[in-house]
Amino acid sequence: MKPQVFALLLCASLPLAAHSQSLEDCRRIAEPADRLTCYDALTTTETPAPPATAAARSAEAAVTADLKEPEADSLLGTAWELDPDKRGHILRIRPYKPVYILPGFHTSRTNPFPASPSAGHTSTTDTEQASDEAKLQISLKTKLVEDLFGNNGDLWFGYTQSSRWQVYSAGTSRPFRETNHEPEVMLVWRTDYTLGGWRARYLSLGFNHQSNGRSLPLSRSWNRVIAGIALEKGDWTATFRPWWRISEAGERDDNPDISNYLGRADLQIVRIWGKQQFSLLLRHSLQGGSNNHGAIQLDYAFPLSGSLRGHLQWFSGYGESMIDYNHRANYYGVGVSLLEWY
């Protein structure tokens, strides 16, 4: 009897329940072609699986669709390089806060004589400030070191500069009325846990300096240690930052009461809606009585063309800028932005 015929008869005669013995017999056939014929015969004699129920097919289709659907990028994960596929970029320049120019920036109440309780810090000369000006802001950050502590802890450097330009005041040579400089270093610790239905993405601790770089009597500055926690939920992010001011001694303090106006904490909430972005900033002194001061800022950005967006801004309260830290007013801005929060 030919070996091929023997192999076919052997596989056909094996009971269906003895799959392990049938496979073993096929493996013992030395000739590759004959061994493949045995395997083919074995598979064709197996009892087909029963058809799946409609519910099972539906569940399988749903799982398959979920697996095929790409997971949306995390807003905070992308902004702060928290996710594994975003890691490894050292000294790459990234946007920090929004970058915009508001050619129309109007205040309801000017501050012609900026004042501070510190000696020699009150202006006796009218600043001749016009109600209408332009506001500009640039803000960038970069990662200096990654994974300082084992596999966590990133050190970032950020810089934000915002200017108020009296561009419509030809009689006073269109000066830059106020420019605020804000360098900072931040240690960002990656987290991933749920807090009240929100996903906590990172904790931070950093040193922040903010000043207007001016001489007396208009010099204003302070240094802070800022903690932070950032959370996200779908198209929402929320960042809460309490801070502690580093006190300056005596006459060196440009603004000893600044914490009672610019506050001791803020909360930033951002909502992404398609290609539009909404931002709410709440800031407060966390004090009562005569030290109960704060501010609210609303920003709205919408697409215009390409990366260019329209940008609307409303601010109400104390401290729209350093020189106005203890001055209360409403501000209304309209312009364009190149970069937003996300």
**pLDDT tens, residue by residue, 266-283:** 999 999 999 999 999 999
* Sign of the CA dihedral running 276, 157, 222, 115: negative
Last residue of a domain, one of 68, 98, 118: 68
Q: Which residue has the tokens 């004042």?
A: 115
Q: In this structure, are 227 and 263 located in the same domain?
A: yes
89 catalytically annotated: no
Range of the domain at 16: 3-68
The residues, any chain, with a CB within 8 Å of residue 335's CB and separated by 6 or more, are 100, 101, 102, 103, 104, 105, 134, 135, 310, 311
Looking at the fold, whether 96 and 111 belong to one and the same domain comes out as yes
Same domain, 102 and 57: no
Q: Which candidate in 74, 123, 139, 209 is catalytic?
A: 209
Same domain for 200 and 259, yes or no, is yes
85 lies in the same domain as 59: no
| Domain harbouring 303, CATH code | 2.40.230.10
- 284 belongs to the catalytic site: no
pTM of the predicted structure, to 2 decimals: 0.78
Token pair in block for residue 161? 């500069």
d(CA 337, CA 159): 17
**pLDDT, tens digit, for every residue of 145-158?**
999 999 999 999 99
| DSSP calls for 250-271 | GGG-S-TTTHHHH-SEEEEEEE
Looking at the fold, whether 37 and 139 belong to one and the same domain comes out as: no
Does residue 144 have a pLDDT over 60? yes
- What is the domain count for the chain? 2
Decide which of 19, 49, 68 is a domain's last residue: 68
Domain boundary among 41, 68, 95: 68
Residue 291 and residue 159 share a domain? yes
Residue-wise DSSP of 266-332:
EEEEEEEETTEEEEEEEEE-S--GGG--EEEEEEEEEEEETTEEEEEEEEEEE-SSSTTTT-EEEEE
Q: Is residue 58 domain-shared with residue 93, that is, in the same domain?
A: no
Q: Are residue 150 and residue 222 in the same domain, yes or no?
A: yes
Residues 139, 211, 290, 307: which is the catalytic one? Answer: 211
- Quick check: 20 pLDDT over 50? no
The CA-based angle 13-18-24, given to 5 degrees, is: 85
